[in-house]
Amino acid sequence: MAVVINKVGVIGSGQMGNGIAHVAALAGLDVVLNDVSDDRLKSAMATINGNLSRQVVKKIITDDARKQALNRIATSDTMEGLADCDLVIETAVEKEDVKRKIFHDVCAVLKPEAIVASNTSSISITRLAASTDRPERFIGIHFMNPVPLMELVELIRGIATDDTTFEAAKEFVSRLGKQIAVSEDFPAFIVNRILLPMINEAIYTLYEGVGNVEAIDAAMKLGAHHPMGPLELADFIGLDTCLSIMQVLHEGLADSKYRPCPLLVKYVEAGWLGRKTQRGFYDYRGEKPVPTR
């Protein structure tokens, strides 16, 4: 039976989760934003309000639209708060065991016809779906970061995803005003399968001393018209996430060209994960970012 999506649950209130809640609420959907702590939820709501306010200043939306969107978002620190959602999107860290536990817990409270989706950037949708009680109502809905600005959403069907789920997901994404790219369920899908090896290659270029951080980023910005250099972009994504995706590619496709650069591994071991920890390929603790090597 066809599903009409009016109420959306978002699990995880980090960068991706609050972005998805933002665009869904702005599109007129009721949203429940879920996270383990009240503090995280408060911080997420402040971020959403800040991002909506920025859109008001830029005259993309009205202040009235901002207020209405905020009123449509409820928060919950328990899975029970998601019980009456028509669609739930998980945006947790890129670790399969964490995601599986979330799906196990949320499926226990959802109505049988509810659709469950993952915003994973690289993990097998088929495998995640198999760990739930509703593989035919499970789909990959992969948003790009930052969600309010990026036009694309990748839709990924698992082997068991049925047509009604796929159609409902397509309708949902269109309602948000986003463009759809349909990807087959192979490691890292389309965008990250192309983007992450490029970032990894940029790190190898640094590791082998071909160029320094500033030269590599300038080369791609000015020589290929990329809006951000690959090392700057890696810091923005999070070096731990970059490493996770490269590991999924390397394990899933068993090709040496996807081997994560040892320097990327070293930075992650140091806890230098990019912007979120104030240090990655750049140091963000001062007035302006300074390369760390």
Q: Which residue is catalytic, options 34, 124, 192, 244?
A: 192
Q: Which residue is catalytic, options 13, 121, 124, 244?
A: 121
- The DSSP string of 39-90 is HHHHHHHHHHHHHHHHHHHTTSS-HHHHHHHHHHEEEESSGGGGTT-SEEEE
The verdict on whether 154 is a catalytic residue reads: yes
Helix (H), strand (E) counts: the chain: 11, 10
The verdict on whether 121 is a catalytic residue reads: yes
Partners of 21 in the β-ladder:
none
The verdict on whether 142 is a catalytic residue reads: yes
Given a contact cutoff of 8 angstroms between Cβ atoms, the answer to whether 1 and 22 are in contact is no
Distances (CA, A) of 177 to 5, 23, 148, 152: 15, 9, 10, 9
What residues contact 101, with CB distance under 8 A and at least 6 apart? none
- What's the CA gap between 135 and 103, in Å, rounded? 11
The verdict on whether 225 is a catalytic residue reads: no
Q: Which residue is catalytic, options 13, 118, 119, 142?
A: 142
Catalytic residues: 121, 142, 154, 192
